[in-house]
Structure 1
Amino acid sequence: MPPSPAQRPTSRRTPPDWLVRTLKPQRAPTPWAAVARAAIAMSTPLAIGLATDHPTYGALAGMGALSGVIGDTADAYRMRILNIAVPQLFGALGVTIGSAVFGHGWLAVTAVTAIALVSGMISTIGAVASVAGLLLLLNCVVGAGLPMPGDWWLAPLLMTSGGALVLLLALLAWPLRGGVPERAAVASTYRGVAYLLEAASQNPLEYAETRLAVTQSLNQAYDLVLARRARTHGRNPELVRLVSQLNAVTPVVEAAPAVHECGVPLPPQVPDAVRALADVIASGRTADSAPLELPEPDGPASRALDHAVRHAAEVAARTGDSEFTNIDDRLGHPAALRVRARRGARNVILSGASWRYGLRLALCIGIAQALVSLVPVPRSYWVALTITFVMKPDFGSVFSRAVLRALGTAAGLLVAAAVLSEVPLGWWDVPVMLLLAALIPALTPRGYAFQTAAITPVILLLSDILNHQGTALLAPRLLDSLMGCAIALVAGYLLWPESWHTRIGDRLADAVADTAMYVECAFGETKDPAVRARMRRRLYRDLSVIRTEFQRALTEPPPTGRRAAAWWPLVVAVERIVDATTAARVRVRHGSPAPSSAEVTQVVLQLRELAQGLRDSVVLAEVRADFGGGPGLREGVLEQVRQEVAAARAIGVRGGPTGEQPTTA
Structure 2
Amino acid sequence: MIPRAASASLPPWLGHALRTQRGPVPWHAVVRGAMAAGPLLGAGVVAGRVSLGVVAALGAMLAGINDRPGGRRVAVRRLGVPALAGACGMAFGSYVVAGGQGIGGAYAPWVLSLVFAVLGLVAGAFSAVGPVASAGGTQLLVTAAIGAGMPLPEPGWQRALLFLAGAAWLILLRLLLPSPSPVTGSAGAGRPYRLDGERAAVCAVYEAVAALLDSVGTSRSTDRRAALTAALDHAQDALSGPRLRRHASSAAERRLHAQYRAALPLGEAATALAWAGVPLPERVGEGPRRLAAAIRDGGPCGPLPAPARSDAGLRALDDALLHAAEAFDSGAAKPPHGRRRGPADVLRTAAGPGGREYGMRVALCFGASVAVAQALQHPHWYWLPATTVFLVKPDLGPLVSRVLCRAAGTVIGAVVFAGLAALLPRPAGLVALVAVCGALIPVATRHFAALTAVVTVLVLALVMVGGEPQASPSRIGETLLACGIVLLVGHLPWPVPRGGRVQDRLSAARESAHAYLRHVLSGADGGVRDGAHGGDSADAEHRAARWALRRDAYRTLAEARTAIDLAAAELPTLARHSAGSEKVAATLESLVDTTTACAVHVDDTGRLPRRHAERIDALLAELTTVA
- Identity among equivalent pairs (%): 32
How much does 1:247 deviate?
Answer: 2.5
Does the 8 Å contact 2:286/2:305 carry over to 1?
Answer: no
1:409 corresponding residue in structure 2: 410
Q: TM-score by structure 1 length?
A: 0.79
Q: Indicate yes or no: 2:469 matched with 1:476.
A: no
Tell me whether 1:534 sits opposite 2:548 in the alignment.
yes
Cα-to-partner distance string for 1:171-197 (whole Å, 9 max, x where unaligned): 223795222221221111111111111
C-alpha deviation, 1:46, in angstroms: 2.8
Q: Tell me the residue number matched to 1:454.
A: 454
SS in 1 for 2:572: coil
Q: How many Å separate the matches in 2 of 1:514 and 1:169? A: 38
Q: Which residue of 1 aligns with 2:429?
A: 428
- Counterpart of 1:312 in structure 2 is 324
Alpha-carbon distance between aligned partners in 1 of 2:596 and 2:558, rounded to the nearest angstrom: 16
Match of 1:128?
132
- Alpha-carbon distance change, 487 to 161 in structure 1, aligned in 2, over 3 angstroms: same
1:177 correspondence with 2:193: yes
For residue 38 of structure 2, what is the aligned residue in structure 1? 43
Which shifted more, 515-524 or 39-48? 515-524
Deviation string, structure 1 residues 542-595 (Cα, Å, up to 9, x no partner):
331232123212321124447868765665455344323422432453359643
Q: Is it true that 1:496 corresponds to 2:508 in the alignment?
A: no
TM-aligned CA distance change 1:506 to 1:328, over 3 Å: closer
Q: What's the CA shift for 1:378? A: 4.8
Q: Is contact 1:68-1:88 (8 Å) kept?
A: yes
Note if 1:73 corresponds to 2:68.
yes
Label 1:119 to 1:20 Cα distance change in 2 as closer, same or farther (>3 A): same
C-alpha deviation, 1:388, in angstroms:
0.8
Deviation at 1:443, TM superposition (A): 1.2
Once the 2 structures are TM-superposed, how far is the Cα of residue 283 of structure 1 from its aligned partner? 4.2
Contact 1:505-1:614 at 8 Å conserved across structures? no
Correspondences of 1:334-373 after superposition (within 5 Å)? 340=342, 342-343=343-344, 346-347=347-348, 350-351=351-352, 353-373=354-374
Which of 157, 160, 168 is matched with 1:156 structurally?
A: 160
Distance across 1 between alignment mates of 2:585 and 2:406: 30
Offset, 1:379: 2.0
2:268 matched residue in structure 1: 254
Deviates more, 1:355-364 or 1:447-456: 355-364
TM-score normalized with structure 2 length: 0.84
Counterpart Cα distance in 2 of 1:612 and 1:237: 49
Shift in CA distance, 83/551, structure 1 to aligned 2, threshold 3 Å: same
8 Å contact 1:443–1:450 — kept in the other structure? yes
Aligned residue pairs: how many? 588
Matched, 1:196 2:196: no
Which of these residues, 542, 547, 556, is aligned with residue 561 of structure 2?
547
**Aligned-partner Cα distance in 2 for 1:52–1:592:** 73
SS in 2 for 1:178: helix
Maintained 8 Å contact 1:99/1:147:
no
Q: Which residue of 64, 69, 92 corresponds with 2:87?
A: 92
Within-5 A mapping of 1:313-328: 313-319=325-331, 321=332, 324=333
The equivalent residue for 2:26 is 31
Q: Which amino acid aligns with 1:138?
A: V
SS of equivalent to 1:405: helix
Query: Which stretches in structure 1 are left out of the alignment for 5+ residues?
Result: 9-14, 616-665
Note if 1:210 corresponds to 2:211. no
In structure 2, how many angstroms separate the alpha carbons of the residues matched to 1:504 and 1:350? 15
CA drift at 1:39? 1.2
The match for 2:593 among 551, 555, 579 is: 579
**CA distances 1:319-348 after superposition (whole Å, capped 9, x unpaired):** 4x5xx3xx595636x68xxxx4x4466446
Change (3 A) 1:237 1:512: same
Whole-angstrom CA distance in 1 between matches of 2:248 and 2:271: 37
- Give the Cα–Cα distance (whole angstroms) in 2 for the partners of residues 47 and 504 of structure 1: 45
Tell me by how many angstroms 1:464 deviates: 1.5
Question: Partners in 1 of 2:401 and 2:607 — Cα distance?
Answer: 51
Using the alignment, how far apart are the partners of 2:596 and 2:350 within structure 1?
A: 37
Q: Secondary structure at the match of 1:226?
A: coil
Native 8 Å contact 2:580 2:626 kept in 1: no
Determine the C-alpha separation between the residues in 1 that align with 2:551 and 2:314: 22
Partner of 1:438: 439
Q: Which residue of 1 aligns with 2:338?
A: 331
Deviation at 1:368, TM superposition (A): 1.3
For the residue of structure 2 that corresponds to 1:227, the secondary structure is coil
CA RMSD of aligned residues (A): 3.4
Q: How does 1:287-302 map to 2 (within 5 A)?
A: 287-288=301-302, 291-302=303-314
Instruction: Give the aligned residue type for 1:155.
Output: R
Distance 2:136 2:366 in 1: 17
CA distance in 1, matches of 2:508, 2:254: 32
Cα distance in 2 between the residues matched to 1:552 and 1:496: 19
The CA distance in 1 between the partners of 2:408 and 2:626, in whole Å, is 37
Task: Please give the alpha-carbon distance, in whole angstroms, between the structure 2 residues aligned to 1:261 and 1:89.
Answer: 45
Structure 2: state its 5+ residue gaps. 179-190, 528-541
Residues 584-622 of structure 1: CA distance to partner in whole angstroms, max 9, x if unpaired?
4324533596436xx88765553332112111xxxxxxx
Cα distance, 1:427–1:570 mapped onto 2, change above 3 Å: same
| Rounded Cα–Cα distance in structure 2 between residues aligned with 1:509 and 1:427 | 54
| CA positional deviation for 1:316 | 1.2
Shift of 1:404: 1.9
CA distance in 1, matches of 2:163, 2:307: 61
Whether the aligned pair in 1 keeps the contact of 2:29 and 2:67 (CA below 8 Å) is yes
Partner of 1:109: 113
Counterpart pick for 1:522 among 514, 520, 538 = 520
- Give the Cα separation in 1 of the matches to 2:618 and 2:285: 36
Give how far 1:367 is off. 1.2
Is the 1:36–1:438 contact (alpha carbons within 8 Å) kept by the matching residues of 2?
A: yes
Preserved CA contact (<8 Å) 1:99 1:148? no
Q: Distance in 1 between matches of 2:69 and 2:461?
A: 27
Provide, for residues 267-296 of structure 1, a one-character-per-residue CA deviation record: whole Å limited to 9, x for no partner.
3333222111112223444544xx534353
Q: CA deviation at 1:161?
A: 2.6
| Structure 1 range deviating more: 149-158 or 190-199 | 149-158
Structural mapping, 1:225-244, within 5 Å: 225-229=239-243, 237-244=251-258
Residue 187 of structure 2 is matched in structure 1 by: none
Q: Distance in 2 between matches of 1:280 and 1:130?
A: 37
Which of 63, 77, 82 is the matching residue for 2:77? 82
**Distance 1:606-1:391 versus aligned 2 partners, 3 A rule:** same
Distance 2:608 2:548 in 1: 21
Paired with 2:62 and 2:335, the residues of 1 have a C-alpha distance of 40
Distance 1:314 1:493, change over 3 A: farther
Query: Does the CA-based 8 Å contact 2:239-2:245 persist in structure 1?
Result: no
Q: Which amino acid aligns with 2:438?
A: A
